[in-house]
Amino acid sequence: MRTLLAVSGVCLGLLTSPYLRADGTLSTEELLVTLSQSNPKLVQTLRDGFDLDKNAEGAIIGRAVNPALAGTRIGPYKLHGRLRKSQSPVELVITLNTAMVFSDRRGHKTASVATATSVTETLKNIQIETASDVE
């Protein structure tokens, strides 16, 4: 049975993790700084409520698909952490779901990742699961 944790301002439902696979690692701090531009309140909620591991994981764009964007990490992202004020901290897996937009050289949204020259992400929501339910 999955354990759900309620966090103020974070909408949670019964979860089926979209994140069973990780493709590339990145710095949690760098990720949060980037995502705070699109959703500062949600990022601050994460910072205030959780002790987060320094490493995050994300999907990755491959060189065979788009050399110019190769190595770029994209969502959904996975973090490990623990509820800060818990007296018996449980290892959590926190998934950050983002909305992505790939744009071409003219700045127009494109459905082709291969021909895109940039990608922007907006943090939409987070999902929290106990690590024992995910891994």
Partner 1 sequence: MASNIAYTIQQNQFGDALAIIPSESNVQSGSILYRLDLEMAVTRNDAPASGLTIGFRVSGVQSHARQIGPTGAGGKATLRLESRIVGKNTITPLGLPEFADCKFDVTLGAAWFESPFKITAYNCCDEADFSGPLVNGQNVGKHKQDFLFGGRGICMQGTGRGSDGKYITITNPKSVSWNPGYAGVANPDAVIFQYSDGVHGAYGLVTADSSIAIDPTILPPRHRVNIIGPRALGERRGDDTGGAIKGHHFDHYVGAGQAAVDAWNAAGGNLASAKVKYLGS
Contact residues toward partner 1 (CB under 8 A) are 20-27, 53-55, 57, 59-74, 99-100, 102, 111-115
Q: Which is nearer to partner 1, 25 or 132 (CB)?
A: 25
Instruction: Please tell me the distance from the alpha carbon of residue 22 to that of residue 133, in angstroms, as a whole number.
Output: 16
Q: Which is nearer to partner 1, 18 or 48 (CB)?
A: 18
Closest approach of partner 1 to the CB of residue 108, in Å:
14
Closest approach of partner 1 to the CB of residue 33, in Å:
14
- Give the side-chain half-sphere CA count within 13 A for 64: 0
Closest approach of partner 1 to the CB of residue 8, in Å:
27
Q: DSSP string spanning 68-108? A: TTTT-EEEEEEEEEEETT-SS---EEEEEEEEEEEE-TTS-
Q: Which is nearer to partner 1, 48 or 104 (CB)?
A: 104
Q: DSSP string spanning 14-44? A: S---S-S---EEEEHHHHHHHHTTT-HHHHH
Closest approach of partner 1 to the CB of residue 87, in Å:
26
